[in-house]
């Protein structure tokens, strides 16, 4: 596969996995009561951390999993359970209404969500990390053209995500509290479905590998 084709295929796959539009609703839900400045900073940091995670897994992902004896199926199950917990929080009425309290909003004002759950597992989740490991397994990490294509695709995809999340404050103002609540619940439901499917795939893989 030539460099341009590898770049395009990896970029399209990463954007499909990360789903920038869908991530807006989730991002609004995990940064309640935050100032626009802080939310935009979290978006930028989250994308930077996600890029770091993707490149690390592309370069040494297979070695990390082998060292700890972790299978890709285990990554699917663990990532699915984490996403399921986040989805339940999004769907919880209590979790949504508690943010309206001034004291609670103030206590959460400077909460750092850039690494968890934004960068991992929402952006650099099992799907994206598995893609990086797969490309590394194909030998792409051992060549300059492979790094140029896969690394460039990861950078471009996260630039798209950052540009989308950077406008989340405007979307928040346009939708209002009721709109945000509706999107949060909808995204929570979608995220729960994704998490369930991810967990099922992982469990199925583990069961099928048993003697």
Domain with 54 in it? 3-209
Residue with tokens 């993707």: 54
pLDDT score for 3: 92
Provide the token pair at 188.
């929570």
Q: Which of 203, 211, 200 is nearest to 71 (CA)?
A: 203
The owner of tokens 């206590």 is: 107
Give this prediction's pTM.
0.69
**Domains in the chain, number:** 1
| pLDDT at residue 93 in the model | 52
pLDDT score at 150 = 95
Residues of the chain with pLDDT under 70: 93-110, 137-139, 172, 176-177, 180, 183
DSSP 33: T
End-to-end CA distance of the chain: 36
What's residue 147's pLDDT?
95
Taking residue 193's Cβ as centre, other Cβ atoms within 10 Å add up to: 12
């Amino acid at each position: 596969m030539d460099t341009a084709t590898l770049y395009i295929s990896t970029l399209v796959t990463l954007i499909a996995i990360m789903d920038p539009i869908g991530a807006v609703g989730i991002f609004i839900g995990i940064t309640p009561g935050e100032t626009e400045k802080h939310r935009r900073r979290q978006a930028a940091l989250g994308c930077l951390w996600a890029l770091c995670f993707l490149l690390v897994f592309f370069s040494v992902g297979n070695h990390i999993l082998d060292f700890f004896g972790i299978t890709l199926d285990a990554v699917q199950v663990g990532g699915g359970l984490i996403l399921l917990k986040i989805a339940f929080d999004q769907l919880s009425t209590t979790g949504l209404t508690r943010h309206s309290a001034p004291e609670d909003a103030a206590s959460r004002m400077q909460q750092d969500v850039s690494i968890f759950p934004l960068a991992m597992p929402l952006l650099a989740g099992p799907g994206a990390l598995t893609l990086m490991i797969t490309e590394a397994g194909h030998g792409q990490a051992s060549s300059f053209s492979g790094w140029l294509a896969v690394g460039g695709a990861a950078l471009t995809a996260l630039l798209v995500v950052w540009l989308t999340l950077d406008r989340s404050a405007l979307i928040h103002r346009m939708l209002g509290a009721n709109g945000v609540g509706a999107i949060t619940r909808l995204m929570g439901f979608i995220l729960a479905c994704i998490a369930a499917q991810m967990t099922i795939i992982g469990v199925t893989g583990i069961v099928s590998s048993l003697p």
